[in-house]
Chain A
Amino acid sequence: MKSAAAHTIHTMISWLLKAVWIAGTILVLLALQPLLQSGAIIDPYWFRILLLMGINVTLAVSLNLINGFCGQFSIAHAGFMAVGAYTSSYFTLHALYTPVRNLSFAQQATWMIGALLVGAVTAGIAGFIVGIPSLRLRGDYLAIATLGFGEIIRVAILNIEEVGGASGLSDIPPLSSFFWIWLIALMTIALSRNLLVSSHGRAVLAVREDEIAAEALGVPTTKYKVIVFAFSSALAGMAGVLAAHLDLSIYPSSFTFLRSIEIIVMVILGGLGSTTGAVLGAALVTLLPEGLRYVPAFTVRGYVVEMQAWRMVIYSLLLIVLMLTRPRGLLGGMEWSWHGLSRIGGRWFRGRPSDRNLPPEEQGEGDLL
């Protein structure tokens, strides 16, 4: 039985602990950065992979919020990344006059935070706008709508001369670094896990499990869906900011629907609905093409097969094989809600007894409807 005083002390301690965690993380990252960047511990090549991985983690974990927790399926993520990338780059290109190397660390940090905010807010607003149709659609239709929005964003960027059109934006100030990329990545992971645990998170899970039931219980499903969508888009926007200020030039062609698919693959690979899975998936997808570089080339009837060139083919094959053999992803746990499959008409009952007699949702895997 906790008294009010004990409760307050408890809260204060947990806040203190959180602050310690955050400070500690920042210090560790700050310390790691020069170490890793110098090339003493790891090769510059792998250092870059590590940076890309951080960005992918942010993308995958944020997408996992929509897909895994809400039971919604979005193919627009690259679009929100693009919004964040472009708005922040436009901002830094026009507002930042001194070259980055002439700025102090504190000044760089301020600009980075500014850019991140610009990217997050604009992407969040875009997410909100795209999220509104999610009020009305579900399943396949939502996926298609997000696909459409993603493409419209890309074409819009392509047509806006102000941001370079097809030639994109270049000479973006190099504000990104290991520190920022991984700080945001870890923040995204932490936020994602907190969302899961909080009461808000439980509501979100309720939406995923059975939307109709959740509504009946008074959970304002639409409000939560839109909030999660906007939040997730904001995070994707930040990933875009980081990527843009790392590569120093961006083009509309970097943000096609294929990029959205790639992010989806990361989430699926690790196991839908699981934050850890999203991280794992992001890591794997970043590493996979690189890993293939190390497979030695071999010859088939005089034709030299270089794995590297075929890596995209292998990548797609692996994707298919994964879906056929372990559709739950490596960590498993797809639990979607079961909705009106009977409306579309009938079920498939075939093959193995007992489990196969169940509609897919109740076989431990969900259905997208």
Chain B
Amino acid sequence: MQEFLQQVINGIAWGGVYALIALGYTMVYGVLRLINFAHGDVYMFGAFMAFYASMWIGPRVTGVGGVVLVILFAILASVALGVVIERFAYRPVRHHPRLTALITAIGVSLLLENGGQQVFGADPQPFPSLFGSAEPIQIGGLIIVRSIVYILVCTTALLLLLQYIVMYTRFGKAMRAISQDPTAAALMGINIDNVITATFALGSALAAAAGLLVASYNPQIDPYMGLLPGLKAFAAAVVGGIGSIPGAVIGGLVLGLAEVFVGASAYGDWREAIAFALLIVILLVKPSGLLGTGIVEKV
């Protein structure tokens, strides 16, 4: 029973991470109908920015202040990256066929990964411990690794924050309007360009946060660390319903739990394939995703 609960907690934690990354995919897909393949690499970029920041800030500012600065820097740098990518790589192809945009996104992803390899070096770097002691926490017989707790707390907080933004703020409504009907949204006086840029910024911030959280759990970062998680998070977004924000969360959780349980089972080797198997199943059974609206072109 304890083992089971342990796994459930792990699954939810990983689910939260996948959800954070998946949200970026789903938000951008919602407003642009673009699969931003470079998104996973923003996750990687966030981790690396924190790495370099901590090397510079660490000796100068100690304690909580230092950690906050490092996190802020990493997130802001990733937001900047996301905005730059949107402005220079995606906006010019916005009116081009989506295949073009897709290839551009792939190009950006390759650029970040290979560029990262050149600039950061191909070898994995040791990520510094940001959150102090690494002692596991005990809760009623369960021993939970500290970083899992951080992941759970942070992802919950971020998801609630995002929910608030999307449902109750003017910006959030604009985002939803554009994803439902871009022409009508324009007629409301919404500046489409600005909202799209802000969407990218938001998605990138979440990806960077995910990168930081994962790096604190698994302190080895390398330029290709975003590739597979990115793909899997994207699969999660589709499973939950691409374009749907709660869908991204549900998809992430489903994937996280599925991976953890498959990994612990006799079929452990197939853990990496689970994301894609789920993806295909959902595409065959309900292509619009678990929470999707059911409007998918099917002839």
Contacts and interface: CB of A to CB of B under 8 A. Distances in A.
A313 B118 CA distance: 8
A336 B99 CA distance: 10
Interface centre among B100, B108, B270 (most CB of A within 10 A): B100
Interface string B106-123: 111011001101100000
Given A136-B287, A320-B89, A343-B297, A152 B280 contact: yes
Contacts of B92: 324
Contacts of B111: 313, 316-317, 320
Contacts of B277: 148, 152
Interface stretch (A24-32, A86-94, A171-179, A359-367): A359-367
B118 A309 contact: yes
Interface string B225-237: 0000001001100
A356 interface: yes
Contacts of A327: 93, 96-97, 100
Given A145-B283, A148-B235, A369 B297 contact: yes
Contacts of B106: 261, 264, 319
Contacts, number: 166
Nearest to A261: B106
A141 B201 CA distance: 26
Interface stretch (B164-172, B177-185, B253-261): B177-185
Contact of B283 (A144, A215, A366): A144
A296 interface: no
B280 A145 contact: yes
B35 interface: yes
Interface string A133-170: 10011111101110111011001101100000000000
Nearest to A73: B99
B195 to A, nearest CB: 14
Contacts of B279: 144-145, 148
A353 interface: no
Interface in B226-271: 231, 234-235, 238, 269-270
Main secondary structure of the interface of A (DSSP, over half): helix
Contacts of A156: 273
A145 B278 CA distance: 10
B287 A137 contact: yes
A345 B110 contact: no
Main secondary structure of the interface of B (DSSP, over half): helix
A137 B92 CA distance: 28
A75 to B, nearest CB: 9
B281 to A, nearest CB: 9
Contacts of B89: 320, 324
Contacts of A272: 99
A149 B284 CA distance: 12
Contacts of B297: 138-139, 339-340, 343, 369
A15 interface: no
17 contacts: A136-B298, A137-B298, A145-B280, A145-B283, A147-B231, A152-B273, A215-B299, A261-B110, A310-B118, A319-B106, A323-B103, A327-B97, A345-B179, A348-B94, A360-B97, A366-B97, A369-B297
Given A151-B272, A151-B276, A327-B100, 13 more contacts: A140-B98, A144-B238, A151-B275, A310-B118, A313-B118, A316-B115, A320-B107, A320-B108, A344-B33, A360-B97, A363-B95, A368-B98, A368-B99
In the A-B complex, the 9 residue pairs with the smallest Cβ-Cβ separation, listed nearest first, are A346-B183, A319-B107, A316-B111, A316-B110, A312-B114, A155-B273, A148-B276, A346-B182, A320-B107
